[in-house]
């Protein structure tokens, strides 16, 4: 069975289900990863699903549920019934469970919590108190902690007991009597010492930790910097309350990057391939309507220059190009700044350097493109003044557009607003307006030479 394709795997599983051969089914299921189990379940037709769920062990069901999208999770729980769901929930990772429960109605949530083991239900409820996207919310309580007076032998024994339920055994966190985090031992260190050695003597005391209210992006940054597999989470008094593991952090990194892209493109939050058309349209609409209204604003600006435009209709030919170029250079700067802000801390010196860098970039881009378009406009329209007007406008708009794409996200960042909300379209539209004002302003100044 090691080399079965997905299709063959599906067929064998369904065969065992049809023939009600639970043992054969389990022989295969045992070898499968939760992701594979979930994939098979998703591909399966509705009629096979109930027995599939019956044939799974509680542990496998918990792992399966953790891999599903929320809608499918609810579907599985409904199929399982309240009693079995509570048992499955006892086995789920607390962070996954907190996410799931957070989406249910208060009534349903209480029904499940009441039937769960007291210990587990309290753990997940305490998790749910922390705001979303913080370390407290994404941490798990399935980690191994050891009292400071343990020897390596004691630890090895405790490990044997906890290895199965702990999410990671790579790091063992050492606590004092008040449950305060005082050290960490890697699993590797244990292997390399003698059984009678005291943990206190081999532990690292400089433990990097995060607090429950640390933003998940900051947690990701720490795990990424230090190449950690997990980072301990403490309350403000340094009491150890959980760990965040690297697999959750990968999800955070992907989610945050996707959000950045969605914001930069103003595509609205949480649209993926499965979002319904009406929902997707509804989420995208506010941005488009806003941009439409700003577009009207740029229309009124042009209408102010109607006289100029009537005299030299050729000015209209370069309008989209100038507005577009200004928008594009702004978007380029924006992308550099938004991603840069993610991967490093920004002090005043960095901002100053960045500002002058982008000013210089804007000047270089402006001069090169300005000269190019002057020549093209002159050749095309046979009017040197028009060439100069278009060219000098482009120089100015490119410099201003570049700086707008740099300054706006940094100001937002300093104001603790997510810089990515200064989305590409917003910057683009703002730059549209600035560029039209500059372009028609310069054209109006030189109108007598243009005709």
The length of the chain is 451
Comparing C-alpha atoms, which of 164, 60, 362 is closest to residue 76?
Answer: 60
- Phi and psi of 400, rounded to 5°? -65, -40
> Residue 216, Cβ neighbours under 10 Å: how many?
24
C-beta of 404: minimal distance to a second copy in Å? 14
C-beta of 203: minimal distance to a second copy in Å? 10
Nearer to a second copy, 92 or 264 (CB): 264
How many Å apart are CA 229 and CA 52, to the nearest integer?
33
C-beta of 9: minimal distance to a second copy in Å? 10
C-beta of 274: minimal distance to a second copy in Å? 9
Nearer to a second copy, 120 or 432 (CB): 432
CB 229 within 8 A of CB 152: no
DSSP H or E run through 41: helix 34-43
Distance of alpha carbon 423 from the chain centroid: 16
Cα 423–300–325 angle (5° rounding)? 45
How many Å apart are CA 23 and CA 53, to the nearest integer?
14
Per-residue DSSP letter, 374? H
Nearer to a second copy, 113 or 142 (CB): 142
3-state secondary structure (DSSP) of residue 44: coil
Nearer to a second copy, 129 or 270 (CB): 270
C-beta of 302: minimal distance to a second copy in Å? 5
Nearer to a second copy, 128 or 325 (CB): 325
Nearer to a second copy, 242 or 366 (CB): 366
* Partner residues linked to 243 by β-bridges: 140, 232
C-beta of 406: minimal distance to a second copy in Å? 11
How many Å apart are CA 429 and CA 388, to the nearest integer?
25
How many Å apart are CA 270 and CA 276, to the nearest integer?
11
Nearer to a second copy, 115 or 339 (CB): 339
C-beta of 299: minimal distance to a second copy in Å? 4
């Amino acid at each position: 069975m090691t080399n079965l394709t997905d299709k063959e795997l599906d067929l064998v599983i369904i065969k065992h289900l049809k023939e009600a051969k639970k043992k054969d089914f389990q022989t295969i299921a045992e070898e499968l990863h939760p992701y594979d189990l979930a994939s098979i379940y998703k591909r399966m037709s509705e009629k096979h699903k109930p027995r599939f769920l019956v044939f799974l062990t509680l542990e496998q069901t918990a792992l399966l549920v953790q891999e599903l999208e929320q809608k499918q999770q609810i579907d599985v729980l409904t199929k399982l019934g309240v009693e079995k769901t509570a048992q499955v929930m006892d086995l789920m990772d607390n962070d996954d469970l907190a996410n799931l429960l957070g989406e249910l109605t208060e009534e349903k949530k209480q029904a499940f919590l009441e039937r769960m083991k007291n210990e587990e239900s309290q753990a997940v409820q305490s998790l749910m108190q922390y705001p979303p996207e913080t370390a407290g919310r994404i941490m798990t309580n399935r980690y191994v902690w050891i009292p400071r007076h343990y020897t390596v032998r004691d630890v090895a024994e405790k490990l044997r007991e906890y290895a199965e339920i702990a999410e990671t055994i790579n790091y063992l966190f050492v606590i004092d009597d008040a449950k305060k985090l005082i050290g960490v031992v890697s699993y590797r260190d244990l292997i390399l010492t003698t059984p009678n050695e005291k943990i206190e003597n081999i532990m690292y005391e400089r433990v990097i930790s995060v607090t429950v209210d640390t933003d998940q992006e900051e947690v990701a940054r720490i795990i990424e910097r230090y190449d950690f597999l997990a980072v301990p989470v403490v309350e403000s008094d340094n009491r150890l309350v959980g760990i965040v593991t690297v697999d959750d952090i990968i999800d955070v990194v992907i989610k945050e990057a996707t959000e950045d892209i969605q914001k930069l493109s103003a595509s609205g939050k949480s649209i993926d391939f499965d979002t319904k058309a009406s929902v997707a349209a509804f989420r995208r609409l506010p941005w488009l309507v806003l941009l439409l209204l700003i577009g009207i604003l740029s229309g009124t600006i042009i209408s102010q220059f109607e006289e100029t435009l009537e005299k030299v209709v050729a000015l209209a030919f370069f309008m989209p190009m100038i507005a577009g170029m200004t928008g594009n250079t702004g978007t380029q700067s924006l992308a550099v700044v938004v991603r840069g802000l993610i991967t490093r801390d920004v002090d005043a010196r960095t901002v100053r350097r960045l500002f002058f860098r982008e000013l210089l970039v804007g000047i270089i881009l402006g001069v090169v493109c300005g000269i190019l378009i002057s020549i093209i406009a002159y050749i095309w329209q046979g009017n040197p003044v028009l060439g100069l007007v278009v060219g000098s406008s482009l120089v100015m708009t490119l410099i201003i557009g570049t700086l707008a794409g740099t300054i706006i996200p940094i100001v937002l960042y300093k104001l603790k607003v997510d810089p990515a909300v200064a989305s590409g379209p917003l910057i683009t539209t703002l730059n549209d307006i600035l560029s039209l004002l500059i372009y028609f302003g310069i054209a109006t100044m030189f109108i007598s030479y243009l005709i």
